[in-house]
Chains A and B, each alone.
Chain A
């Protein structure tokens, strides 16, 4: 490398390093000096501290010495005095020793040494005199001893104390002086450090300033040249002859300038070509942008339309649910009448065979209609989230046995065999709703089966601690393309054309209910061989399950068999709906010994109950002035009816309605449409005397 070459780093770093080293050297020197002087000062302070300690010890020993000497003077016993004498000798020796220590320690402090020598002299004199006193005292010359002691206390002890005090003051003063000296030393050093710091800082700043100024000047030179070059000035050579990085830069720039000149010429030609291309491109880009904007606008419009359509569809769906719900309620009321009277006709023995068939048709049709209404109601309740699901542990075997019992008659009609393997296990579900689902699936399996077919009900272990209940039929099966529509409402596939009864929403309800129970439902089918519908519900693993025994609503347990006062065989029926009144009238007409009293409103009913004391009261829940619950509490509050069976009679037929009624104090709960047989059972349980018809 060129010997003259000095890099920028060296140009800056070398002076800075020199300044730094100088500061470091001076600082080290000062701090060493400070350390030395602090050592001296603190050594002196320690000596003084020791002296104070020694003087204090001496003072204490002297006080003790005098106290013992006084005891010696007062003693009357030679033995006691001997002991005290020994002790006093020890004290004397200790004090003298401290005196010697002081001399040795302060050999070099002449100002103190005088006082220390004086103190030792006084001590020696004091002890000599005290020894004389003690000798007198030991010789039982107490008077003389006391006299001498008094003289010593008066003449010798105070000067001794003064010397002690003066030494102590001296030591204290020198400690104070050390402290002050230290403070001054510290302050001086601080100032020195400040001066050094500031000086060093200024030097560094100066060096840096000088360097930067030079650098800037050279950079400006380069910049100025570059500027001129950029603006197409004459391409004179950039001059910077110093042998360092900037010099290198200048050289590099010079060679670059040559290359740039060449490139510029090429570029000029290329630019002309490019400009032509660019104008072509601009035209194309503008037309593309227009097209894009148009497209975006159309997408926006379509999205808005779709959102509106979706909202409308949702609204329509809501309206449909609400309409169905309302309509179903409206439909249920007339259905009561239809079914009730059909039932009455059915048990009428005067009807001929044709008429009976007709009545059977009416009853079946209305039953179907009622089922449909109920299911629509259920679905709308589920969809509006108004349904209550109470999940509890369930024994699966009894549940399925119950289902079998229920569908057995239906299966027998079509000569269908019920088979299955059911394991003992427990699952989590809502009992009523699960029953509803299983009943729906099983009755479907029977309905859509061939005559003389088979329905299998099996339990299988499912995935993830679940139990699968599968119901398999031997019907026609469902084609694959239709399977996906199965769980849609009102989709009976092609069953509309068949003679099979069905509402078309049973599976939808089942699906919703099972999902509410955190289960799943599904199916598979082979056309021509049959279908399998299954549900899966969470299984209970624990074996120590104790079934939740629900209070059974058995009529026999509700105390209906009260012994009535003779002659009172009336049944009071309170309802504002004349259709229902007439139906009940006709049922009770079968019991000649029963007199039916009816009331058209709540108040009339209460009056009648009090006046007539009936054997049983049928009470409608939904009445205008006062509802059934209020009437019940009035009646129960009166002595007329405290023990009288009071039966609720209501269109509110949900399980929770029934439970509420029983909890409120009704003895039983009849739902509308009227289950005539249930009513007849209740009347018969009154054990009325039989009267010939």
Chain B
């Protein structure tokens, strides 16, 4: 008995201390699990919303598939889920994790072929990816990252996939790909969303939109959201002109409300 109390008491004390510290955040923050490509613009909108409603917003930025798996396995707790592909959103709906009525597609995106900012490489046609000019092609992991899925879809649709497959290198999420591509050699290209080029990359070609499904973003409230009202209010705020403008400026194409 003596030994038990001796070891257990400090542990308990530490736990209660942490609980006190975390209390304000767990209680009043809105948590959004968002696809990487949207995080930057979403935080701008979130800032606007926070200022108006006095609510602090937390973001969990990962690839859409990873977020979906995390939410499914309860590894992540969030109020809102933002996916970069319809596929993952459908999956979440099927799993019954989303409030189906709350789901909508606020914006769409464009896929581009990009190179490092100072690379001399130029491409005039999509088919040139199969030529000797391009030796490496970075795409997102088709399994988890929608921008990779769209890229593979486009290459398959144009019958280029079998030819270029040996040049493919996949990355888990879009920010990682952008970083690696910015440091790559002049014979390397990457396929990613127009919205995620950043300062290190420049687009050399827009992927013909006919080659892949429309790139719509889907957002919805999770069923087990802790802050249901705040989440509903934030989703409504996204439909406002003010919020749409932020995404428009960032390169997204706002869908008609």
Contacts and interface: CB of A to CB of B under 8 A. Distances in A.
Nearest to B139: A140
Interface in A79-114: 79, 82
A82 B166 contact: yes
A73 B91 CA distance: 23
B97 to A, nearest CB: 18
B167 interface: yes
Contact of B142 (A77, A78, A140): A140
Contacts of A138: 165
B143 A78 contact: no
Contacts of B168: 77-78, 140
Interface of B: 65, 139, 141-144, 148, 152, 165-171
Query: In the complex, which of the residues B148, B165, B167, B171 has the most CB atoms of chain A within 10 Å of its own CB atom?
Result: B165
B167 A140 contact: no
Query: In the complex, which of the residues A139, A140, A142, A143 has the most CB atoms of chain B within 10 Å of its own CB atom?
Result: A140
A141 B167 CA distance: 16
A330 interface: no
Given A140-B141, A143-B143, 19 more contacts: A76-B141, A76-B169, A76-B170, A77-B168, A77-B169, A78-B167, A78-B168, A78-B169, A79-B166, A82-B166, A138-B165, A139-B165, A140-B139, A140-B143, A140-B170, A141-B143, A142-B143, A143-B144, A144-B143
Interface string A8-41: 0000000000000000000000000000000000
A141 B171 contact: no
Contacts of A144: 143
10 contacts: A76-B170, A77-B168, A78-B166, A78-B169, A139-B165, A140-B148, A140-B170, A141-B142, A142-B141, A143-B143
Nearest to A146: B143
A437 B142 CA distance: 133
A140 B167 CA distance: 12
Contact of A78 (B65, B148, B165, B171): B165
Contacts of B65: 143
Interface string A624-648: 0000000000000000000000000
Contacts of B167: 78
Nearest to B69: A143
Nearest to A79: B166
Contacts of B144: 143
A138 B161 CA distance: 12
Contacts of A141: 142-143
Interface of A: 76-79, 82, 138-144
Nearest to B171: A76
A144 B166 CA distance: 20
Contacts of A79: 166
Contacts of A77: 168-170
A467 to B, nearest CB: 108
A82 B165 CA distance: 11
B255 to A, nearest CB: 28
A74 to B, nearest CB: 11
Nearest to A80: B169
A415 B148 CA distance: 152
Query: In the complex, which of the residues B65, B139, B141, B144 has the most CB atoms of chain A within 10 Å of its own CB atom?
Result: B141
Nearest to B172: A76
Identify the 6 closest CB pairs spanning chains A and B, nearest first.
A143-B143, A142-B143, A76-B170, A78-B166, A78-B168, A77-B169
Contacts of B169: 76-78
Contacts of B166: 78-79, 82
Nearest to A145: B143
Contacts of A142: 141-143, 170
A140 B152 contact: yes
Nearest to B144: A143
Nearest to A82: B166
A144 B152 CA distance: 15
A225 to B, nearest CB: 113
Nearest to A143: B143
A139 B165 CA distance: 8
A143 B142 CA distance: 9
B144 to A, nearest CB: 7
Contacts of A139: 165
Contacts of B141: 76, 140, 142
A79 B170 CA distance: 12
Nearest to B168: A78
A141 B149 CA distance: 10
Contacts of B171: 76
A138 B166 CA distance: 9
A144 to B, nearest CB: 7
Nearest to A142: B143
B140 to A, nearest CB: 10
A83 B169 CA distance: 14
Nearest to B165: A78
A55 to B, nearest CB: 37
B141 to A, nearest CB: 6
A76 B167 CA distance: 11
Contacts of A140: 139, 141-143, 148, 152, 165, 168, 170
Query: In the complex, which of the residues B143, B152, B166 has the most CB atoms of chain A within 10 Å of its own CB atom?
Result: B143
A236 to B, nearest CB: 120
Contacts of B170: 76-77, 140, 142
A78 B144 CA distance: 18
A141 B141 CA distance: 8
A79 B148 CA distance: 18
A516 to B, nearest CB: 101
A144 B144 CA distance: 11
Nearest to A137: B143
Contacts of A143: 65, 143-144
A436 to B, nearest CB: 109
B145 to A, nearest CB: 11
Contacts of A76: 141, 169-171
B76 to A, nearest CB: 18
Nearest to A138: B165
Contacts of A78: 165-169
Contacts of A82: 166
A140 B164 CA distance: 12
A277 B143 CA distance: 145
Query: In the complex, which of the residues B152, B167, B169 has the most CB atoms of chain A within 10 Å of its own CB atom?
Result: B169
Contacts of B148: 140
A140 B148 CA distance: 10
Nearest to A77: B169
A494 B86 CA distance: 164
A661 to B, nearest CB: 98
B244 to A, nearest CB: 33
B168 to A, nearest CB: 5
B241 to A, nearest CB: 39
A395 B141 CA distance: 119
A82 B142 CA distance: 18
A619 B89 CA distance: 142
A301 B117 CA distance: 147
A454 to B, nearest CB: 129
A141 B139 CA distance: 13
A137 to B, nearest CB: 10
B176 to A, nearest CB: 10
Nearest to B142: A140
Nearest to A76: B170
A82 B144 CA distance: 22
A144 B143 CA distance: 8
A374 B152 CA distance: 142
A158 B44 CA distance: 53
Nearest to B170: A76
Nearest to B169: A77
A546 B170 CA distance: 107
B107 to A, nearest CB: 26
A141 B142 CA distance: 6
A133 to B, nearest CB: 13
A389 B72 CA distance: 123
A144 B142 CA distance: 10
